[in-house]
Amino acid sequence: MHPLKWPLLALPALVWLAPPVFAAQNVEWKDDGTVLLKLGDAYNNKVITTSRKELGSAFGPDKQPFKDVTITVTVNGAGPKGGISRPLYQFRPIWEEL
């Protein structure tokens, strides 16, 4: 066998053995239609409970309507209305999973 072909044959085995990099850690889809949005350590692991209906039909466990799309959000960093960038930054992993 040509020496360059064996790495290609080993690739499926490596993919099969490797854990998924982006496992659903921030969004949990329950069978009863409930959706849990997990805020993580920055918010003491609080969870927002919502429903599939509230999220809309574009979102689901196997749907990512904005996958591979870059969305830019501009926020106030300071000033009379205060900084709002931290909550939006913390919600980013949830949005990326959705």
- CA distance to 48, 59, 60, per residue, from 32 (Å): 16, 16, 13
With H, G, I as helix, E, B as strand and everything else as coil, classify residue 76.
coil
Q: Summarize pLDDT for 8-66 with one digit per residue, the tens.
A: 444 444 444 443 444 568 999 999 999 999 988 878 889 999 999 999 988 988 888 88
d(CA 17, CA 90): 31
- How close are the terminal C-alpha atoms of the chain, in Å? 44
Is 81's pLDDT higher than 50? yes
